[in-house]
Structure 1
Amino acid sequence: MNKFKIFSVALLASVTVSQAQDLNPAKKAIDAEQFDSAKSILKSIVNSKPSNGRAAFLLGNVYLTQNIADSAKIYFQKGLTGSDGAKLNYIGLGQLDLDNGNVAAAQANFALAAKDMKKKDVEEYIYIGKAYMAANKPDYKSALSILTRAKINNPQDAQVLLELGNAFYGDKNQNEAYVAYRDAFQADPTLIRAKMQLGVLLKGAKAYTEAVKAYDNVIATNASYGPVYRELAETYYLWGRNEPSKGKDYLQKALGYYEKYMTLTDYSLASRMRHADFLILAGDYKTLEVEANKMKELDKVNPRILRYLGFAAYENGNVDVAIQSLESFIANPANKVLALDYQYLGFSKIKKAISADGKTVDATLFNNGVSDVKKAVEMEISITNNLADIGKKLYEQKLFKEAAAIYEIATTNKESRNYLLDNFYLGNSLYYDNTKKDVVKPDPIALQKADVAFGNVIEASPSTQDAYIFRARTNRLLEKDDMMVKYYEAYIAVVTEKGAEELAKPAVKTKLIECYNNMAASFANTDKLKAKEYFNKTLALDPTNNYATESLKTLK
C-alpha cells in the first residue's frame, strides 16, 4: 500500500512536470511576442488535454493581449472546468472585469484565484499583478501591493522581480524599477526581457545613447530576441523627435529596426496592426497603406483595418476612401472609437469640401467636418495640437471664415503648444473675413472674438507687436475709438522699446504712420491739438503723406 502511494505521488509529479514542459515553448513564444505561434501551441494543448486549465488561461491571455476579449473569455471559462491551473482563469475573468470598469467583480475573481495558496506560492500573485497592469486603465498601486506579497513569499523568484520592475516603472519609480530588473536578471540570466527593460528605463529617461548601448548588450546575449528591435525602433523614433537635426536619419533607423522586429516575431494580423500603429507614429503613410491592404487580404472583416486605411488614404490624398473607411469604422458600435478617428474623418471632409482651386466651399460638408473635429477634441484635448497645419492652409488660401472655424477649436486648449500662434491666426482670420470687398457690414460678434484672441496673444507674449496693431484695427471696425487709440499707443510703445533698428524697418514705419493718422482722425473733433500732434508725427516720417497734409489744412 505504501509503495502504491509513493508511486501515485511520483506519477502526479511526473504529470505536472510534463505539463509545465509542454507549456514552455508557448511561454517562450509569448515572451518573444510571437503570438500566433503561441496560440497554435496552446490550442493544440487545450484540444489534446482539455483538463489543462493553465494552457487555457495562457491562451486567453494571448487573446487579451491582442484585444480579442470575446475569445479570451471563452478560453477562461473553458479553463475553469479543467484541473491543472484551473483557478488561474479567475484572474483572466478578473482582468475582463477591470476592462469593463467593475473593480469589485475583479477583486472577487482574484480572491477566488488566490484561495488556498500555499505559503511559498507566487504564480497567482504574479498574474494578478499583471492583470492590474494590463487592464485598460492600469492600476500600478494595486499591482505593487500584490507583487510585494509575492516577493515576501519568494524573494528570489525572477518572474516576481520582473513584474515588480514593470509595476514600479508604471508607477514612475525609476530607481526601484532598476533594482527590480537588475535583480531579476541576476536571479535568472536567461530572463532576457529583464535585461532589455534596463534599456527601456533609459529610454524613458531620454538617455537615448545609453538605452541603445543597453539594447546592444541584449543583442550580444541573444541576437534573435525580437522585442529588443521593437524597443530600438521606438527609441530611435523618440530620439529623432528630440533631436530634429537627426530626425530623418533616426526615423529611417527606427523603421528598419521595426522591420527586423517583424521578421523575428511573426507577420500575423496582430503584429501587422502593432506595426501599423508604429507607422502612424512615424508618419510613414505610404508604407501604412501597403500594410493596411495586406491586412485586408488576411482579414476582410477586422474593423481596425478600416482605421488604418482611413488614416493612410487621407495622408496620401485619397479623401473618398478615407471618408468611406472611417465612417464604416465609427458606425460599428462594437468598435472602440478614438479621437484620431474623428480627427481624420473631419480632416477628410474638410479637404473634400474645398475645391482644388480653393475658390468654392461645400458649406454643409465643411461644417460636418468641423463637427467631427470638435468631437475629436472633446474626446482628447491634445488633438488641438494637430490643427495648426490645416488652419494655416485654409488661411493661406484666403478662406478666412473656414480658417477661423478651425482656430476657434484649437484655442480651446490653453496648454496647446500652438496656443499663441493659433490665437493670432484666429484673430487675423476673423479680422480679414470682415474686411473683404463683399462685406457690407462687419460682424460685431466675430470681431469681438478677434479682439479676445489678440488679447490672449498679448497676455501670453506682451512683446508680440503685431497683436497690438491688429487689435487696434479690430476695435476701429467695432467703432471703439478709445480702445483703438489704446492699442495703437501700445504698438508704438513696444516697437520704440525695441530700439532704433526696429523703428527703421519699412514695415514698422508704415504701421507707425497708420497709428498716427488713425489716432489723429479720432481726435479731430474732440482735441484738435492732439490731432495736429499726431498728423505732424506722420509727416515727420513721411513728409509727402497726403492724408496728413490735407487733414492739417482742415484743422486750421
Structure 2
Amino acid sequence: MNKFKILGLALVASATAAKAQDINQAKKAIDAEQFDKAKTMLKSIIKSKPSDGEANFVLGNVYLNQSVVDSAKIYYNNGLQASDKKNLNYIGLGQLDLDAKNTAAAQANFALATKDMKKKDVNEFIYIARAYMNSENPDYKNATDVLKRALLVDPQNAQALLAIGDAYYGANNQNDAYKAYRDAFTADNTLLRAKMQLGVLLKGAKSYDEAIKSFNEVIALDANYGPVYRELAETYYKWARNKPSTSKVNLQNAITNYEKYLSLTDYSLDSKMRHADFLVLVKDYKNLEVVANKMIAQDKVNPRIFRYLGYAAYENGNVDVAIKSIEDYIKTPSNKVIGRDYLYLGLSKIKKGTDAAGNVEQTAFDAGLADIKKAVEMEPLVVEELADFGKALFGKKQYLQAASIFELGAGNSESKNYLDDSVYYGISVYYANVNKSTGAPDAAALAKAEATFDKILVASPNYDEAYLYKARINRLLEKDDAMTKNYEDYVTKITAKGADELAKPAVKTKFIEAYNNIAASYANTDKAKAIEYFNKTLVLDPANAYATQSLKSLK
C-alpha cells in the first residue's frame, strides 16, 4: 500500500512535470512569436486537463494579443472554473477592463488574482504588470510599481527583470531599461529576448550599426530565434529611412531578414498579416498585392487584408481594384477604419479621373479630395504624405488642384512639411489666379494666400520670397499701397545681403519687376517717384521697353 502511494505520488509528480513542460513549451512558442503553434499546444493541455487555469489564461492572452477579444474572454472565464491557478484569469479580465478604461474594475480583478498568493510567489505580479503594459491604454508607472514588489520578493527573477525593462522602455527611461535587460540576461542567459532588447534600445537611439551587432550576438547564441530577425528587418528599414543614401541596400536587407523571420514562425494568417504590415512599411507594393490576393483566396482571412490590397492596387496602378477593396473594407461596420484608408480611397478616385496627359477631371478630383479631407480629420499628420502628390499637380500646372492639396498641409503646423506646403500653397493660389483666362481673380483665396505668407514669415523670417509673392498677390487684388510696401520690403531685404546676391540674374529680374510695379503705382499720384523707380529699372536693364515707354509718357 505504501509502495502504491509512493508510485501514485510519483505519477502525479510526473504528470505535473509533463504539464509544466507543455506550458513552458507553449510559452517558448509565444516568445518565438509562433502563435498558432502555441494555441495548438495550449488547447491540447486544456482538452487533457480542463481544470488547468493557467493554460486557459495563457491561451486567452494569445487571443488578446491578436485582438480576438471574444475568444480571449471565453478562455479567461473558462479558466475561472478551473481548480488549478484559476486566479490568473482575473488578470486577463483585468486587462480587458483596462482596455475599456475601467481602472477600478481592473484593480478589483487584480486584487482577486493576488488574494491568495504565497509569500514567495511573483508570477501574478509579473502578469499584472504585463496587463498594464499590454493594455490599449498602457500604464507604465503602475507596471513598474507592481514589478518592484516582485523584485523585493525575488531580486534575481529574470522574467521580472525583463518585464521591468519593458516598463522602463515604454516610459522612455532608457538607462534603467538597459540595466534591467542586462540584469535579466545575467540572471538567465537563455532569456534571449532580454539580450535582444539591448539591441532594440540601440535601434531606438539610431545607433543602427551597434544595434545590428547586438542582434547578431543573439543570432550567434541561437540562429533559430525568429524575433531577432524581425528586429533586424526593422533596424535596416529605419536606417534606410534616416539615411536615404543607404536606402536601396538596407531596404533589401530589411526584406531579407523579415522573410527569415517569417520562415521561423508558423506561417499562420496572423504571421502573414504581420508580413503584409511590413510590406506596407517598406512600400513593397508589388509583393503586397501578391500576398494580399493569396490571403484573400484562403477560406479565413483577416479583413484588414482588403485594406492592404487597396493600398497596393493603387500604388501599382490598378485603381478600380483599389477603390472596390477599400470601399468594401470601409463599409463593413466591424472594421476599424483609419485615416489612411480614406487617403488611399481619395487618391484612387483622383487617379481614376486622370487622363493620359495627366490632367485631372474636376468632378473626380472633388470626390477624391472629399475623402482625403476625411483622412486628415481622422489623422492630421497624414498631410505629410500628400506633398509629392501636390508637387506633381504643381509641376503639371494644375495650380488650383495643387492649392487644394497644399492647403491641407499648410493648415497643420505640426507637420514636418508645414513650411514647404505653406509656400507651395501660397504660390499655387497666385499662379491659379494670374493664369486665369476668364473671370476676376478669387479675392478670398488670394487673401488666404497672403495670410499664409505672413505666417511663413513668422515661422521663417528669412524667407524673403514671401514679400515678393505678397506684392504679386496685392497687384492682382489692385491694392497698390500694399503692393508697393511688399516690393520695397523685398528690395530692402535682398539689398542687405550684399553685392553678390544683387549680381544674380534671377534677383536682377525680380528687382526690375519690383521697380516697374512700384513706379506704375506712383504714376498717377507722384510722377517724381515714378520717374525715380523707372530710372532704377533702366540702370539694371537699359533696354527695358516698359520703363522706357513709361518715362516718355510721364515727361
- In which range does the TM-score fall when normalised by the shorter chain? over 0.9
AA partner of residue 421 (structure 1): D
Superposed displacement of residue 177, structure 1: 0.9
How many residues align structurally? Answer: 555
Per the alignment, residue 504 of structure 2 pairs with 505
The separation in 2 between residues aligned to 1:111 and 1:349, in whole angstroms, is: 54
Partner Cα distance (1:186, 1:389) in 2? 49
In the other structure, the counterpart of 1:111 is: 111
Q: Partner residue of 2:93?
A: 93
After superposing the two structures, state which structure 1 stretch, 6-15 or 122-131, moved more: 6-15
Does residue 74 of the first structure (1) align with residue 77 of the second (2)?
no
| Aligned mates of 2:542, 2:204 — CA distance in 1 | 63
What CA deviation, in whole Å up to 9, does each residue of 1:417-438 have, x standing for no partner? Answer: 2111111110111111112242
* Structure 1 outlier segments of 4+, above 6 Å: 1-11
Tell me which amino acid in the other structure corresponds to 1:480: K
Match of 1:428 in 2: 427
Matched-pair contact (CA < 8 Å) for 1:427–1:451: yes
Q: Is the 8 A contact 1:322 1:348 kept in 2?
A: yes
Q: Could you tell me whether the CA contact under 8 Å between 1:91 and 1:131 is conserved in 2?
A: yes
State whether structure 2 residue 523 is matched by structure 1 residue 524.
yes
Aligned residue for 2:87, secondary structure, equals: helix
Q: 1:323: which partner in 2?
A: 323
How do residues 404-423 of structure 1 correspond to structure 2 at under 5 angstroms? 404-423=403-422
Report the Cα offset of residue 530 of structure 1.
Answer: 0.8
How far did residue 164 of structure 1 move? 0.7
CA shift, 1:442, in A, is 0.8
Deviations 1:73-117 (A, max 9, x none): 121122211122222111112212222222222222222212211
8 Å contact kept, 1:202–1:210: yes
Within 2, Cα distance between the matches of 1:531 and 1:466? 24
* Residues 129-140 of structure 1: pairs in structure 2 closer than 5 A: 129-140=129-140
Segment drifting more, 504-513 vs 259-268: 504-513
Match of 1:159 in 2: 159
Equivalences for 1:143-292 in 2 at 5 Å?
Answer: 143-292=143-292
Q: Is residue 23–residue 55 contact of structure 2 (8 Å, CA) maintained in 1?
A: yes
- Secondary structure in 1 matching 2:532: helix
CA distance in 2, matches of 1:296, 1:155: 49
Q: Which residue of 2 aligns with 1:374?
A: 373
Q: Distance in 2 between matches of 1:508 and 1:428?
A: 18
Task: Give the structure 1 partner of residue 550 of structure 2.
Answer: 551
2:401 is the counterpart of 1:402: yes
Hey, what's the Cα distance between the residues in 1 that align with 2:108 and 2:20? 27
Kindly report which structure 2 residues correspond to 1:291-330, keeping only aligned pairs within 5 A, or say none.
291-299=291-299, 301-330=301-330
- Alpha-carbon deviations, 1:534-556, whole Å to 9, x = none? 00011111122222112112222
Q: CA deviation at 1:263?
A: 0.5
Task: Report the Cα distance in structure 1 between the residues aligned to 2:219 and 2:359, rounded to whole angstroms.
Answer: 57
SS at match of 2:357: coil
| Cα contact 2:129–2:143 (8 A) shared by 1 | yes
Q: 1:405-464 CA distances to partner (integer Å, 9 max, x unpaired)?
A: 111111121122211111111011111111224231111100001101222232333333
1:434-449 map, 5 Å: 434-449=433-448
Q: Distance in 1 between matches of 2:147 and 2:178?
A: 16
SS across alignment from 2:297: helix
Comparing 238-247 and 34-43, the one that deviates more: 238-247
For residue 17 of structure 1, report the CA deviation from its aligned partner.
3.0
Q: Hey, what's the Cα distance between the residues in 2 that align with 1:415 and 1:187?
A: 44
Partner of residue 483, structure 1: 482
Cα distance change on mapping 1:114 and 1:12 into 2, 3 Å = farther
1:459 matched to which residue of 2? 458
TM-superposition CA deviations, 1:150-207 (whole Å, max 9, x none): 1112111111111011111111111111111111111111111111111111111111
Q: Distance in 2 between matches of 1:290 and 1:101?
A: 39
* Deviation of the 1:11 alpha carbon: 6.4
User: 5+ unaligned residues in a row in structure 2: which ranges?
Assistant: none
Q: For residues 388-420 of structure 1, what are the alpha-carbon distances to aligned partners after superposition, in whole Å with 9 as ceiling and x for unaligned?
A: 011111112222121111111111211222111
Give secondary structure in 2 for the equivalent of 1:298.
coil
Q: Which position in structure 2 is the counterpart of 1:27?
A: 27
Q: Secondary structure at the match of 1:464?
A: coil
Alpha-carbon contact 2:273-2:302 (below 8 Å) kept: no
> Distance between the aligned counterparts of 1:4 and 1:532, measured in 2?
122
Question: In the TM superposition, what is the alpha-carbon distance from 1:302 to its structure 2 partner?
Answer: 2.4
Alpha-carbon distance in 2 for matches of 1:522, 1:235 = 60
How far the C-alpha of 1:14 sits from its partner, in A, is 4.8
Distance 1:168 1:9, change over 3 A: farther
2:335 is equivalent to residue 338 of structure 1: no
Asked if the contact 2:467/2:489 (under 8 Å) is kept, the reply is yes
Provide closer, same or farther for how the CA distance between residues 328 and 162 of structure 1 changes in structure 2, counting only shifts above 3 A: same
Question: Would the aligned equivalents of 2:269 and 2:301 in 1 still touch at CA under 8 Å?
Answer: no
Question: Which amino acid in 1 is paired with 2:397?
Answer: K
Contact (CA 8 Å) 2:289, 2:309: kept in 1 or not? yes
Contact 1:354 1:362 in 2 (8 A): no
**Aligned residues of 2:501 and 2:507 also touching (Cα < 8 A):** yes
Question: 2-side partners of 1:388 and 1:169: how far apart?
Answer: 33
Quote the residue 2:539 is aligned against: 540
Counterpart of 2:210, as a letter, is E
Q: 2:127 is matched by which residue type in structure 1?
A: Y
Measured in 2, the distance between the counterparts of 1:355 and 1:400 equals 17
Cα 1:322/1:360, change in 2 over 3 Å:
closer
**Counterpart-to-counterpart distance in 2, 1:262 and 1:340:** 26
- With structure 1 as the length reference, what TM-score do the two structures score? 0.96
Alpha-carbon distance, 1:486 to partner? 1.3
1:353-392 alignment, distance < 5 Å: 353-363=353-363, 365-392=364-391
Instruction: Give the superposition deviation at 1:133.
Output: 0.9
- Looking at structure 1, the residues matched to 498 and 33 of structure 2 have their Cα atoms a distance apart, in angstroms, of 63
Q: What is the CA-CA distance between 1:379 and the residue it aligns to?
A: 2.2
Q: Measure how far apart 1:312 and its partner are.
A: 0.7
Q: Distance in 1 between matches of 2:321 and 2:341?
A: 14
Q: Which amino acid aligns with 2:159?
A: Q
Q: CA deviation at 1:331?
A: 1.6
Shift of 1:65: 1.5
- Indicate if the aligned counterparts of 1:323 and 1:349 stay in contact, CA closer than 8 A: yes
For 1:199 and 1:478, the matched residues in 2 are separated by: 59
Counterpart contact for 1:151–1:160, Cα < 8 Å? yes
Gaps of 5+ in 1: none
* Matched-pair contact (CA < 8 Å) for 1:234–1:254: yes
Q: 2: CA distance between counterparts of 1:540 and 1:191? A: 79
- Identical-residue share of aligned pairs (%): 63
Equivalent pair of 1:269/1:298 in contact (CA under 8 Å): no
* TM-score using structure 2 length: 0.96
1:155 corresponds to which letter in structure 2?
P
* Amino acid across the alignment from 2:288: L
Secondary structure at the aligned position of 2:434 is classed as coil
